[in-house]
A = this chain, B = another copy of it.
Amino acid sequence: MAPPRLPTAQKSGSAPKAPRSRIQKRNRQIILDAALEVFSTHGFRGATLDQIAAEAGLSKPNLLYYFDSKDAIHRELLTRLLDTWLDPLRMMNPEGDPQAEIMAYMRRKLELSRDFPRESRLFANEILQGAPRIESFIRNELRPLVDNKAQLMASWATAGKIARIDPYHLIFSIWALTQHYADFAAQIGMIRGDDQDALDGAEPFLNALYTRLLAP
């Protein structure tokens, strides 16, 4: 029951890495899995190589044989994460049915929280720290995309296809409501029980919420 995994980042601009054997790939992946667990819980500075090594079942120097430094491990995780992070919003189709498109975006984000809660917490940790490592990503990639989709939603509102609500806050609300189930899972688990039930109830609730909010 291994957790699903984000695709390997393959930025076309990055220099080609040295070829890696199967054992290389395998161990790098084991390390990244362990590091994701630790970084997403404690943040960059709060995490230690000892914890990651213990989680990975490898020795600390062995970690540093596969990655140049603690920072390099963290950077690799962030790169893979950001590569996928924008996909749900990118997929919003200007030609589709406005209400259905927004509902589908919300559901894609909720699925991301369900399938990749650790990645969501890794992202949350970065933002809480002031987003020092991903500021350029937010300004140069996320922001233009948000501006573009906000404009699209504004045009839908003007056309009477959806209610006249602030598109930026609509997007923020989708982020807040979906990511909350991953980022605050510990709290929700202590209140509602650690079963799936809590998350199972989220989808119908959010469906009802956005159905009512978007109706013109």
- Whether the pair A191, B46 counts as a contact (CB closer than 8 A) is no
A41 touches which one: B130, B183, B187, B198 (CB < 8 A)? B130
A23 close to chain B: CB less than 8 A: no
CB of A152 to closest CB in B, whole Å: 16
The smallest C-beta distance from A103 to any residue of chain B, in angstroms, reads 15
User: B129, A202: Cβ atoms under 8 Å?
Assistant: no
Q: A188 contacts the other chain (Cβ, under 8 Å)?
A: yes
Beta-carbon contacts of A182-216 to B below 8 Å, as 1s and 0s? 01101110111000001001101110110011010
Interface size on A, residues (CB 8 A): 54
CA distance A190 to B131 in the complex (A): 10
A41 touches B128 (CB 8 A): yes
**Residue with the highest number of chain B CB atoms closer than 10 Å, among A163, A169, A177:** A169
Q: Does A109 contact B (CB under 8 A)?
A: no
Q: List 21 A-B contacts (CB under 8 A).
A: A41-B129, A41-B130, A42-B129, A121-B128, A124-B128, A128-B183, A139-B190, A142-B187, A142-B191, A163-B208, A163-B212, A166-B204, A166-B205, A168-B191, A169-B206, A170-B205, A176-B177, A176-B184, A177-B177, A209-B209, A212-B212
Q: Which of B43, B138, B177, B190 contacts A138 (CB 8 A)?
A: B190
